[in-house]
Amino acid sequence: MKRLRNDVERLKPQKRGFFQSILCCWRRNRTKTNQNGTPIDGSTTPPPLPDQQRYLLPQIRHSDMHKKCMVIDLDETLVHSSFKPIPNADFIVPVEIDGTIHQVYVLKRPYVDEFLRKMGELYECVLFTASLAKYADPVADLLDKWNVFRARLFRESCVYYRGNYIKDLNRLGRDLQKIVIVDNSPASYIFHPDNAVPVKSWFDDASDCELLELIPLFERLSKVDSVYSVLCNSNNPLNNHNQQQQQPTQSQQQLQQSQQLQQLPQTPQQQQQQQQQQQQQTITATTIITQASTLSTPTILTSQQQQQQQQQQLQQQQQQQQQQQQQQQQQQQQQGSPPNHNDLNSKT
């Protein structure tokens, strides 16, 4: 009975946590996707729009007529939020859930202020998050000091498709060639991967420079006629892999260039230079050979000379000894000293 009770309890649906119900970071029954955010079954077709469906964005302002539209995500792209107290939190947002006030601690991503100010100058910026408005709206109030966001879109504006909250850019009412979406979740833009600039998910890394490093790219995108000219197929891992295989390495390119240069016809001056170089190479080769031969022969001569020198030294020593003996005999004869027994014996 106890085992049966445990099995029944395990089969009961579990309640979702407070934070899971607010933010877009956790979703149940999520569709398995690849790195590009595409479902494994290959389906990326959005559900059809009703005929009476209105566009999500209002009419474009006169000051933004010549700007492209930038759709910017919130959580893990611009900020990171947590129910757990954070000592260095930038914002503390009270959120009411089921009649209870909960404190949400929010960290700003490094360089988010510089990023938003610059994007507000270049684009018509739209905040588009899969989080609930009662959390995301007060966070946006504290984050956007310069009124960069022309509009704010929340979870109810997303399309719930195969377990994911999808941001369908067709619903915005803007030209798709002039829309770019900045998001850390590939599943958010599976309908429009060629409009996306993915960013790394951010949690608390104080040394992160992702937003700052992306500014030059967005400056370039703001000037092109169509974002597809830059972003088309950029988020397809298979295409990137094939391009890397097809592109030769730098060493291979240098080798090919040198081979091509060698095959080109030479001018008379180049031929003379080549002949001179060959002559110099032969001269240096012969000098190296002769130097090597001269360096190797002294070892043989020195061994022979050493033997001769040793013999000469012995002969010189013998001659010196004989001369010394003769000098001693002469001195003795001059002094009149008696001859030694050797001399007497020799005379007798």
Look at residue 324 in the predicted model and tell me its pLDDT. Answer: 79
User: Contact 214/199 with Cβ under 8 angstroms?
Assistant: yes
Look at residue 314 in the predicted model and tell me its pLDDT. Answer: 78
Q: Is residue 220 part of a domain?
A: yes
Q: Is residue 303 part of a domain?
A: no
Look at residue 320 in the predicted model and tell me its pLDDT. Answer: 80
CATH number at residue 178: 3.40.50.1000
Who contacts 57 (Cβ-Cβ below 8 Å, separation ≥6)?
Answer: 69, 126, 150, 151, 172, 173, 174
Q: Is residue 31 part of a domain?
A: no
Distance from the first to the final alpha carbon of the chain? 145
Pairing of strands 179-183, 196-198: parallel
Q: How confident is the model at residue 205 (pLDDT cuts 50, 70, 90)?
A: very high
Q: Is residue 139 part of a domain?
A: yes
Q: Is residue 8 part of a domain?
A: no
d(CA 188, CA 159): 10
Look at residue 45 in the predicted model and tell me its pLDDT. Answer: 55
Q: Is residue 218 part of a domain?
A: yes
Predicted confidence (pLDDT) at residue 67 exceeds the cutoff of 80: yes
Pure H helices in the chain:
2-11, 18-22, 112-122, 133-143, 210-221, 228-231, 237-246, 250-263, 268-296, 298-335, 341-347
Q: Is residue 227 part of a domain?
A: yes
With vertex at residue 187, the alpha carbon angle to CA 181 and CA 191, rounded to the nearest 5 degrees, is 65
User: Contact 72/78 with Cβ under 8 angstroms?
Assistant: yes
Q: Is residue 136 part of a domain?
A: yes
Which residues are annotated as catalytic?
73, 75
29-62 pLDDT, tens digit each = 444 445 444 444 445 555 555 444 579 999 999 9
The residue ranking higher by pLDDT, 105 or 87, is 105
User: Contact 40/33 with Cβ under 8 angstroms?
Assistant: yes
Total domains in the chain come to: 1
pLDDT over 90, % of the chain: 50
| Least-confidence region, from 99-103, 151-155, 234-238, 322-326 | 234-238
Q: How confident is the model at residue 272 (pLDDT cuts 50, 70, 90)?
A: low
275-304 pLDDT, tens digit each = 666 666 555 555 544 554 444 444 444 556
| Least-confidence region, from 5-9, 56-60, 292-296, 334-338 | 5-9
Which residues constitute the domain of residue 165? 63-237
Q: How confident is the model at residue 236 (pLDDT cuts 50, 70, 90)?
A: low
The overall average pLDDT reported for the chain is 76
> What sign for the dihedral angle of Cα 102, 150, 44, 220?
negative
User: Contact 233/194 with Cβ under 8 angstroms?
Assistant: yes
